[in-house]
Structure 1
Amino acid sequence: MANRVRTAVFPVAGLGTRFLPATKAMPKEMLPVVDRPLIQYAVDEAREAGIEHFVFVTGRNKGVIEDHFDRQFELEVTLQERGKLEALAELQRDLPLAGLASFTRQQEPLGLGHAVWCARDLVGNQPFALLLPDMLFKAEPGVLSQMMAAYEQHGGNVIAVEEVDPADVGSYGVVARGEGPDAGFAVTGMVEKPKPADAPSNLIISGRYIIQPDIFPLLAEGVKGAGGEIQITDAMQTLMSRQRFTGVKYQGRSFDCGSKIGFLTANVVFALDRPDIADGFMKEVRELANRTA
């Protein structure tokens, strides 16, 4: 039986240059989709999947993320005194239990693989989930929960994938599909940003992983790949020769909130799904559409 996945790693050290000047003083992971920051959605997804320990790999000027996952007593007292008990209860629900959130620094921007390696001592010799907060999903159950079901069946390593237009595969990591259903098929290969003619499929890696700790010695070698950075995909390719990798073509929709279009689209979709604001927001959208038609 596969070891239970209890820990999740969240790489949050990126500079967010595509959202300047908004991210000059505020981490991109704290950008709100409606009224919740991106990082909170990722933590909520992990918690739903049974994660107990939340590891954040941060960088300079990211202290606000640590503050977000801490109690703010003055705010709590003010909400209590003003009778805003629902807002207070929501803030308290969002917090990991004491001692279950850990923070470590990636002191140089050496790539995603290096960020994951920085979490090695906090993860220990156990499998872990890796969630990229830029990727936001609307899925029920959550994408990581769908992956956990595949992990319980197959063990090893699990990657969430989705289909894209074959012409667009050159922007992503792409997997080769082996036997098995969408909910858990064998991954027989992967390649980073292939030319469309050379891509093994149109299934791209979608920012959610379950990985065995054997990845850490491979990342420690510090081999640089695409962009001159230490890539997690390169280490997974090596690990694939030793361990099973399972792909999960998840049920749901993704939003790449590292791009302005994806971020704005996510705000629209999530706003329209909120009973408290959907009607008023739709009215504004329709009026705007009529004025610009």
Structure 2
Amino acid sequence: MRFTEQELLDALARMPFVDTLELAVILGEAYATVHRALTGLLADGIATRVNHGTLHLPTSGRWFLTAEGIDEAADQLGFTAPSEFVRTYPVSQQWLTLLLRRMDAVASVYRLALALSPGYGSRRSRVEFHRRGRFDVTITLHNGRSFGVVRQGLGLRRRSLHDRLRAIAQHDPSRRPGTVLVLVPSDWEQRLTARLCERVHLHDCYVAEESCDALESENSHLWLERTWTYGDEYHTLHDVRSRCSRDRGWLISSGAGDAPRCPIRSGWCARRRPSA
């Protein structure tokens, strides 16, 4: 199936500040195809990029729509006015300012989506940011498996993170993503958070210390799940993806300005993390 400019504009509107590799894998398209299309949008002034790197990830160019690009996307995607488009997608000035302020988190989420996505055959994943609510981001794969991501940055107090996880545990499981993924800044926080998830009966929850391997590697046993039966079990991202329930209801967000919603445990493979 031919990758169209409308699809690219829609993807850039849904996923501001995604880099070329991440966008190609999330959309399941060839890197060269996406790179060529983005270069064309850059030449036409429809999209531009900002360079950004983190402690865990190398510097890369992160793409977003320009003001002209918003007008073009609104027209091509059938909106009556750019203002309607801006209310539908996370491309308003307020949204972009918020995402720029949280750029380290944004980059980590896209890398996580890259690792979870098939990356071929136009099997497209969706990444959606939330300004309010229990999750920072939700990632939905082409087959309906969904992941709610919560990140504890250096500026977020442990108590605030734990309050959010308690709220997720108390929420109707059928109305949230199938799996909860938590990123924390240290192995100490990882153990504390996993114990909390066990105490509040937050099932299908995996906690990782934020690192390049945790975000990108499918085969590293870095995602901690703590259960009463087995204690601490460290899983790979491949395991986490295969165990994700497909029959969970999609998370419904009531936040104004959120991107449009898409409609939305097989296998068992885990081993204990080797001691250092």
Q: TM-score, normalised by structure 1?
A: 0.28
Larger Rg: 1
Q: Higher relative contact order at CA 8 Å, sep ≥6: structure 1 or structure 2? A: 1
TM-score (norm 2): 0.29
- Larger strand fraction of residues: 1
